[in-house]
Amino acid sequence: MASMRAMRRLRPEPVSQDVLDQVVQAASWAPSASHLQRYSFVVVTDRDQMARLAEIWQAVVRLYLATFAQRPADLDADTYRRTVESVEYQASHFAEIPALIVACYDLGSYPSAVRRRMIRSPRAFARFGLRRTLALFRNTNTFSNRSEAASIYPAIQNLLLAARSLGLAANMTTWHLMAEGEVKRALGIPRTVHTYALIPLGWPQGKFGPVRRKATAEMIHRDRW
């Protein structure tokens, strides 16, 4: 964990299907909401598919760097410059990425079934209280969305850790959401399925870690904020 930094500079050598299967298997060991296991992983190695995605990704990166990108106040200029350079390198070499994993999740009919059970349980909501019940109904979509995210991001972390243990370089990005429809059409992902991350994988050009993080004491709020 302490050496698993985001690595965007990858060698073009292929990653075997067996190794890719291993990292996806590790992802499947993560927990999921109600043990539904509704995650899916699109593993892309085909060069034509990667070229299609490269065109989309390069447009996304250009937009992001021209609009949203900004150096955080607590990040030194040299570190930020190196990060931007690695992002630009990955974009310009995206078609050469050995493997790309698209992490997806779809709760399916589960949210609708939950809503039906909620309607049929008036006594439970009477005990829960009017204020809490109103807040729950207002936030039903948020609850579903975060349940999906909570079910796929632990799997992604497992995948990244497995990749690191096998000597693979990787990084997780969500920038593709700016053009998610195009990505889904290119890969034939159904409209109802949500994509949560792109994970480029390959053998590293550089060295792993160590990661640099702020002190633990700066992150913790004890007992209350």
Distant-in-sequence, close-in-space partners of 103: CB < 8 Å, separation ≥ 6: 27, 39, 41, 152, 155, 156, 159, 195, 196, 197, 198, 199
**Cα 12 to the center of its chain, rounded Å:** 23
- pLDDT per residue over 16-70, tens digit each? 999 999 999 999 999 998 888 999 999 999 999 999 999 999 999 999 999 988 8
pLDDT digits (tens, 9 = 90+) for 71-98: 988 888 998 999 999 999 999 999 999 9
Rounded to 5°, the CA angle 58-61-62 comes to 85
* E runs forming strands in 117-214: 169-170, 194-202
pTM: 0.88
Cβ-based neighbours of 189, under 8 Å, separated by 6 or more:
42, 102, 104, 183, 195
pLDDT in the model for residue 181: 97
Indicate whether 108 pLDDT > 80: no
Tokens 């993080």 correspond to: 213
Domain range annotation of the chain: 17-108+144-218
- Give the pairing type, strands 194-202 and 169-170: antiparallel
Domain 17-108+144-218: CATH superfamily is NADH Oxidase (3.40.109.10)
Where residue 115 falls among pLDDT bands split at 50, 70, 90? low
Out of 112-121, 127-136, 145-154, give the one with best mean pLDDT.
145-154
Average pLDDT over residues 162-175: 97
